[in-house]
Structure 1
Amino acid sequence: MGYKVKTFGMELRPLKAMQELFALDAMVNAFVAENGVKRIVSVSDSPTTDDKGETIGLVRVVAYED
């Protein structure tokens, strides 16, 4: 049994962030269901920013057992 890491990304737009976060959650949940993931070891979110320091996206990393 080994570990794998999957990375997901989502652009965040002003006044649409909640919809985009729900879409990101749905994307991760679909991946977990479709790949038969039994145990998630870690989930981490990290924002991406533009040259002004404004948040423009989110990267979610999921570590799971294979």
Structure 2
Amino acid sequence: MIQVKTFGEPLQPFKTRRELEELDARVNAFVVENVARVISVQDMPITENGSVIGMIRTLVYET
């Protein structure tokens, strides 16, 4: 069965690298525990007044 899950992470100045590493770790843990096959992964920035303030990662997968 094909499913879609989204993960979000707010981004703060000077902490972006750590926050993106935490997002990667959450997504990877989910994949290891719940996913048989990854179909697609896509990142989309969230912006406000031209500044990136967050990241949404969408995962399409089969169980």
TM tier, shorter chain?
Answer: over 0.9
What is the identity, as a one-letter code, of the residue corresponding to 2:16?
A
Superposed counterparts of 1:1-66, under 5 Å:
2-35=1-34, 37-50=35-48, 52-66=49-63
> Structure 1 residue 34: deviation in Å?
2.1
SS at match of 1:33: helix
Identity %: 52
Number of equivalenced pairs: 63
Q: TM-score, normalised by structure 2?
A: 0.94
Q: Give the greater-gyration-radius structure (CA).
A: 1
Q: Deviations over 1:30-63 (max 9, x none)?
A: 111222x12100000000011x110000000000
Runs of 4+, deviation exceeding 4 Å? none
Q: Structure 2: which 5+ runs fail to align?
A: none
Tell me which protein shows more strand as a share of its residues: 2
Q: TM-score, normalised by structure 1?
A: 0.90
